[in-house]
Structure 1
Amino acid sequence: MKQTILPLLLAITSISSFAQPVLETGPGMPAEWIDKATGHKVVRLTNNGRNNLSFYFHNNPFVGHNMVYYSSAKTNAPRAAKVETYNAVGNDKQLYLLNLENRQSERLTNHPAPMLGEIVSAKRNEAFYQVKDSVFAVNLSTKKERLVYVFPEDFKASITTINADGTLLAGARATDEEKQIFKNNPSKSDYFNKIYEAKLRRTLFTVNINTGKLDKIFSDTAWLNHIQFSPTDPALLMFCHEGPWHKVDRIWTINVNSKEVKLIHKRTMPMEIAGHEWFSADGKKIWFDLQQPRGATFFVGGTDLATGTETKYQLQRNEWSVHFTSSPDGKLFAGDGGDPNAVAKAPDGKWIYLFTPNGDHFNAEKLVNMKQHNYHLEPNVHFTPDQQWILFRANFEGKEDIYAVEIKPSMVNSESMSFP
């Protein structure tokens, strides 16, 4: 890999040895710059005149040096609700493939109907998505599309994840009553409590990609959501009991073969919350935003799946983030910050953060000034596979685009960006 990339790196650095501009991050940025407040280089990875959004924080978008993302026709219409998973309907919303070595993009899909799903399988070199009741896959090399599965009339559901060996898709089926609540209340502030209080049945399922077999694996009147397969164990599926976090023991797993269900974190005090959970890259831990109690003391917590042992790292109010993530080697964490209206009520929380564990707490470093970003769009950070950059999405330039910030601080005469 290093040998094939070296000529590209030499070409980039030889023509881009001039000083990077040092600017306050906000409207009208060049293709790359050094954030004046942090000293870290930031680059815009998309620039096609469309709205471009990277995946939700726990959905892996990477296959080798490529990243899958969504792009939709630009519109000036205001959004009715927060953009969390980008499953909202977009104008000409399609999947694209970004080469992180040269920042070139290719269009992967051409569907006139809205699509959803942020599902990439490195094992299969495919991206999966759903259009109405049909599940498709597109090969990231050949761009060939295939029909994978069509949901039957009596079980209309949505896929959200693929397992580690690329054999199973999984998701949840909602009742028609629940779908009607969503339709009548499109804003999260309107539907969130209504769905929780309705106690409508949801059913977890898997679809065998090779055989087309549908398996209904678990059903409950809890709001089953945030369904994620382990990145290493093909049989382990994580899900949550959605709803007001201080009212639910949220994080659960199920073995899709044995159907054994386990609670991952039990709340220990009134108003404690835990959520926005994700697997570590090695599949050994589940990490989550932990507040004991809500809005007062902030941690990133983690549960060892083999032993049940819990770890927690404390952070300051301004360092709390809408979403956290961990690096591929598990040694670093990152957060996408938050505005003063979020749960932490942080007066100065609008930053992309790098966190280094130090005993029982995090040492925090600010990477990007997000003061010009509207957190109506959640940035959703991802470490690149080489752990040299953190990707995020932002709207500080007036539309939605994907950016990367270099973890290593930059000198003013820093060389142009590359992804070794």
Structure 2
Amino acid sequence: MREFKDPDTGRTIRQLTDSGNNVHLYFTENAFDSSKPEIYFRSDRDSGHDLAPHENPHYQLYRMNYETGETVRLTDEEQSVTRVTKTPDSELVVYLAGNKVRKLDTRTGEITTLYEEHGNYGLLAPSISANRRYVGFCRNEKVIKGVGANYSGFKDGFYRSKDGRITFAKIDGSGHFDVKQDTHWVGHFQFSPVDPTLAMYCHEGPWNLVNQRVWVLDAVSREVRPCFRQDADDAIGHEFWTQDGLIFLDNRGPGHDGTVTSDRTQAVAQHVAINENSMRPFVALMHPDGQEVRRIDMPFYCNHYHSNPDNTLLVGDDLDHLVLIDIASEEAKLEVLLSHGTSWHTQESHCHPTFSWDGKRILYASDQGGRVQLYLVEL
């Protein structure tokens, strides 16, 4: 590890990794342990190959003590580990490897397969229910679409995917079942952190083309309802649960597809500049019943947001900087935190900044220097 000062703000940044590519959990999850100074992440450091992020590195799962730097490898999978979720105390970790959903008990080291896909479906977005009885995940039919960086195939996947499913697997490994079959490409499945009977998922695709992005799923009745009913001018995405069980979402307005590429343009709606808006963007906190709790106008927007524990402060990643956005009062106030230097070339190189469970630290990724490394900032 090394520490250095940000040239723009003077903030002290701790670089946690410097070997291979290292990717923390997706921003809808939380890589931090809730009580120990530890994070969980994917890395190809032991793969035997020096590959760029877009060259499909072979990832395994690791745990790091971010105070001492001690790092432990937790898996030895033949297929690359792609997505990871865990309980806040890190007792249970669930990850995707190839066509399998796997569970790691970190107390014993035992790894078991909860689900194995034998059909023409790809797996995505695992999430553990609050009562730790189920793992939910998305299964989407495999369709022909572009492959590569900078959201290759994003638009193709949206139009060609007609069979998306939400599947539950029992955490004890005793079975699995489909809860919802949809007619869209589904993604971002997330159980509520406070209610094991509620979850949400999205209709995935370019935001300006999706008619209704966010859906709340009642896992008992298996009914779904829209969260924030969209109008023609809405372009909504990057939804996540806050710690108190509200749903956060981002509305950028017409002509915005929710992407940013290494060319510093959008991938699909290229006729609209990155920071050009015909309506005032806003973020919102929604009750799971679909009622708007609070709306905060944004005279700027970021590519991803994450909220601190009491929903008074956001961290966001704009084109060049991580920013802190104070939303405690009526008007949002922005403070530049640091320069991240990432290329935006792949999903792995997106910053995806996230708060620790106590809100005292921010973890983010950047491929400045050519490989994805992890960085930590103390607030």
TM-score between the two structures when normalised by the length of structure 1: 0.76
In the TM superposition, what is the alpha-carbon distance from 1:358 to its structure 2 partner? 4.7
Aligned equivalents of 1:166 and 1:272: distance in 2? Answer: 35
Are 2:334 and 1:364 equivalent residues in the alignment? Answer: yes
What secondary structure sits across from 2:193 in the alignment?
coil
Query: What are the equivalent positions in structure 2 for 1:68-217 lying under 5 Å apart?
Result: 68-73=40-45, 77-80=51-54, 89-91=56-58, 93-122=59-88, 125-142=91-108, 144-151=109-116, 153-154=118-119, 158=123, 160-176=126-142, 178=143, 181-182=144-145, 185-187=147-149, 189-217=151-179
**Alignment match of 1:304 (pick from 287, 295, 303):** 287
Who is 2:4 aligned against?
33
Q: Provide Cα deviations, 1:7-41, integer angstroms capped at 9, x if missing partner.
A: xxxxxxxxxxxxxxxxxxxxxxx811222311321
Are 2:312 and 1:331 equivalent residues in the alignment? Answer: yes
Aligned equivalents of 1:290 and 1:116: distance in 2? Answer: 28
Q: Provide Cα deviations, 1:56-92, integer angstroms capped at 9, x if missing partner.
A: 1111222222211011138665554xxxxxxx8423x
In the TM superposition, what is the alpha-carbon distance from 1:307 to its structure 2 partner? 6.8
In the TM superposition, what is the alpha-carbon distance from 1:100 to its structure 2 partner? 3.0
What secondary structure sits across from 2:153 in the alignment?
helix
Tell me the matched-pair count.
348
C-alpha contact 1:151 1:157 (8 A) present in aligned 2: no
C-alpha contact 1:171 1:206 (8 A) present in aligned 2: yes
Structure 2: gaps of 5 or more residues: 257-275
Aligned equivalents of 1:374 and 1:186: distance in 2? Answer: 15
Aligned equivalents of 2:41 and 2:356: distance in 1? Answer: 14
C-alpha contact 1:157 1:171 (8 A) present in aligned 2: no
In the TM superposition, what is the alpha-carbon distance from 1:278 to its structure 2 partner? 0.5
What secondary structure sits across from 2:69 in the alignment?
coil
Q: Provide Cα deviations, 1:163-184, integer angstroms capped at 9, x if missing partner.
A: 11211111122224x2xx14x5
Q: 1:307 to 1:76 in 2, by over 3 A?
A: closer
Q: Provide Cα deviations, 1:286-340, integer angstroms capped at 9, x if missing partner.
A: 11111234441222222123571242222233xx2110010122221110112xx
Aligned equivalents of 2:31 and 2:151: distance in 1? Answer: 28
In the TM superposition, what is the alpha-carbon distance from 1:369 to its structure 2 partner? 1.5
Structure 1: gaps of 5 or more residues: 1-29, 81-87, 339-349, 408-420
Q: CA-atom RMSD, angstroms?
A: 2.4
In the TM superposition, what is the alpha-carbon distance from 1:185 to its structure 2 partner? 3.4
Are 2:25 and 1:55 equivalent residues in the alignment? Answer: yes
Q: Provide Cα deviations, 1:249-273, integer angstroms capped at 9, x if missing partner.
A: 10111011111211011223x3321
**Alignment match of 2:360 (pick from 378, 381, 388):** 388
In the TM superposition, what is the alpha-carbon distance from 1:124 to its structure 2 partner? 6.6
In the TM superposition, what is the alpha-carbon distance from 1:123 to its structure 2 partner? 5.8
Aligned equivalents of 2:90 and 2:152: distance in 1? Answer: 39
C-alpha contact 1:51 1:400 (8 A) present in aligned 2: yes
Amino acid at match of 2:327: P
Runs of 4+, deviation exceeding 3 Å:
73-80, 152-157, 184-190, 292-295
Who is 2:377 aligned against?
405
C-alpha contact 1:62 1:120 (8 A) present in aligned 2: no
Who is 1:276 aligned against?
238
> Which is further off, 245-254 or 206-215?
206-215
**Alignment match of 1:290 (pick from 237, 241, 251):** 251
**Alignment match of 2:325 (pick from 328, 331, 355):** 355
Aligned equivalents of 1:107 and 1:211: distance in 2? Answer: 24
What secondary structure sits across from 1:193 in the alignment?
helix
Q: Provide Cα deviations, 1:104-162, integer angstroms capped at 9, x if missing partner.
A: 211111123222221112467021123333332223344x1321324263585525211
Amino acid at match of 2:131: D
**Alignment match of 1:374 (pick from 334, 343, 346):** 343
Who is 1:26 aligned against?
none
Aligned equivalents of 2:290 and 2:189: distance in 1? Answer: 22
Amino acid at match of 1:253: V
What secondary structure sits across from 2:208 in the alignment?
helix
In the TM superposition, what is the alpha-carbon distance from 1:363 to its structure 2 partner? 0.8
In the TM superposition, what is the alpha-carbon distance from 1:103 to its structure 2 partner? 2.8
What secondary structure sits across from 1:245 in the alignment?
coil
Who is 2:268 aligned against?
none
What secondary structure sits across from 2:195 in the alignment?
coil
Who is 1:16 aligned against?
none
Amino acid at match of 2:294: T
**Alignment match of 1:218 (pick from 180, 183, 186):** 180
C-alpha contact 1:97 1:140 (8 A) present in aligned 2: no
Query: What are the equivalent positions in structure 2 for 1:1-20 lying under 5 Å apart?
Result: none
Give identity over the alignment, percent.
Answer: 24
Amino acid at match of 2:185: W
